[in-house]
């Protein structure tokens, strides 16, 4: 069943301190039928996740108020979920190591193609 055929779209939380990146990711995911909420920093992300548990989190590793591993722990604590599918995005090196530290299901290097983002979110929440 495609996202468009589902009655309730999967909820995705996009966390990135770059406003343009948040908007591009949000648009790409909304075009695929996802319900998207965005956050510019760790504290906004935790508040959003506590308010409504996301099916998938797209998380920028380098936020001004916390690294991706800490933010991932905070998000899991806020949702009460030990398993929370996270797609990590990062602009610098050692992405696989950072993804492992954050417990991410997959990762993308910035810049990335929006089709790769959609595939990553789909694979995190089939």
- Tell me, what's the pLDDT at 82? 85
Cα–Cα separations (whole angstroms), residue 83 to 14, 76, 79, 108, 114: 17, 7, 10, 20, 25
Structural domains for the chain: 9-124 (3.40.50.2300)
DSSP, residue by residue, 31-96: HTT-EEEEESSHHHHHHHHHHS--SEEEEESEETTEEHHHHHHHHHHHHT-S---EEEEESSS-HH
What does pLDDT average to over the chain? 92
pTM: 0.92
Which percentage of the chain shows pLDDT scores above 70? 94
- Could you report the per-residue pLDDT of 17-28, keeping only the tens digit for each? 999 999 999 999
- Sequence-ordered list of residues with C-beta below 8 angstroms from that of 62, at least 6 positions apart, any chain: 17, 68, 90, 91, 92
Q: What is the pLDDT of residues 70-82, one digit of tens each?
A: 999 999 999 998 8
Does the pLDDT of residue 2 top 70, yes or no? no
pLDDT of residue 3: 46
| Per-residue model confidence as pLDDT tens digits over 86-120 | 999 999 888 999 999 999 999 999 999 999 999 99
């Amino acid at each position: 069943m495609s996202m468009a055929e589902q009655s309730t779209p999967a909820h995705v939380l996009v966390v990135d301190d770059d406003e343009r990146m948040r908007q591009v990711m949000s648009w790409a995911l909304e075009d695929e039928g996802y319900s998207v909420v965005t956050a510019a920093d760790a504290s906004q992300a935790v508040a959003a996740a506590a308010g409504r548990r996301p099916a998938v989190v797209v998380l920028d590793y380098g936020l001004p108020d916390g690294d991706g591993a800490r933010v991932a722990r905070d998000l899991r604590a806020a949702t009460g979920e030990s398993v929370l599918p996270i797609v990590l995005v990062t602009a610098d090196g050692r992405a696989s190591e950072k993804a492992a530290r954050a417990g991410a299901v997959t990762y993308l290097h910035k810049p990335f193609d929006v089709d790769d983002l959609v595939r990553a979110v789909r694979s995190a929440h089939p």
